[in-house]
Amino acid sequence: MNIDKCINVAKILFSGIDVTIKIFILTLIFSIPLSILLAIIRNSKCKIISSIIKLYVLIIRGTPMMLQIIFVYFAPYYLFNMTYDRFIAIIVAFVLNYTAYFSEIFRSGINSIPKGQMEAAYTLGFSKVQTFFIITLPQVIKIILPAMSNEVISLLKSTSLAQLIGVTEMFALAQKQASYNFSVIPLCIAGLYYLILVFIVSVIFNTLEKKLDYYK
């Protein structure tokens, strides 16, 4: 491929980045609050609810994400003769998957906070909600940042799986261009774009870690 073709391919792939970023951001927006909620509920004294969440996490962590995406999109059709938008199906599948993983990270962080801190907060008049959001959560975020960083980067790279059900994102475009031009250069350009996005995410997490250094 000559330089002009490479530039043209780069522009085509860049047009698919918006779908990649949408999947990435929407998954984080929905999965992080849900994962915090699941982590709290799983630590509750109600064994039935806790067991249901454990089973959900086990299923999600024990099955391939490819299978989950296919199931989320095709199951409604085979079970209820219903179809819905492919992009929505991808978001649902990604949220279900990463909520399970994030919830385990948040749960481990919550369990690492000494109970004495919560008891002291209650003594000072803080409610359970105030204690969690003012005392516990900031410390949990500091503790789990390295693990969350790994999972968030994994999420960014996993967006390429959207092509399984026909959602055209950056990697799907790269594969088409590679087949059309009989060259691996489109794939290399896609790899470079992913590398840049991962670098940006890494910088954000490193900045957050520095800002939360006072929690030691």
Q: What is the pLDDT of residues 107-139, one digit of tens each?
A: 998 888 887 777 777 777 778 778 887 888 888
For residue 206, how many other CB atoms are within 10 A of its CB?
Answer: 12
pLDDT in tens, 18-50: 999 999 999 999 999 999 999 988 887 788 888
Tell whether the model's pLDDT for residue 81 goes beyond 70: yes
Q: Which structure tokens are listed for 12?
A: 């085509």
- Sequence-ordered alpha helix ranges (H) in 44-182: 47-62, 65-80, 86-111, 115-123, 128-130, 137-158, 170-181
Contacts 24+ apart (CB under 8 A), 76-82: none
HSE, side-chain direction, 13 A CA sphere, residue 118: 14
Domain boundaries of the chain, sorted by first residue: 3-211
Q: What are phi and psi of 213, to 5 degrees?
A: -65, -20
CA separation for the pair 174, 166 (Å, rounded): 14
Question: Which position has the higher pLDDT, 167 or 30?
Answer: 30
In sequence order, the 6+-apart residues with CB closer than 8 A to the CB of 92 are 72
Distance separating the N- and C-terminal Cα atoms of the chain: 53
pTM of this structure: 0.90
Residue 1 confidence class, pLDDT cut points 50, 70, 90: low
Fold of 3-211: MetI-like fold (1.10.3720)
Question: Which position has the higher pLDDT, 191 or 113?
Answer: 191
- Mapping DSSP onto H, E and C, the string for 183-199 reads CCHHHHHHHHHHHHHHH
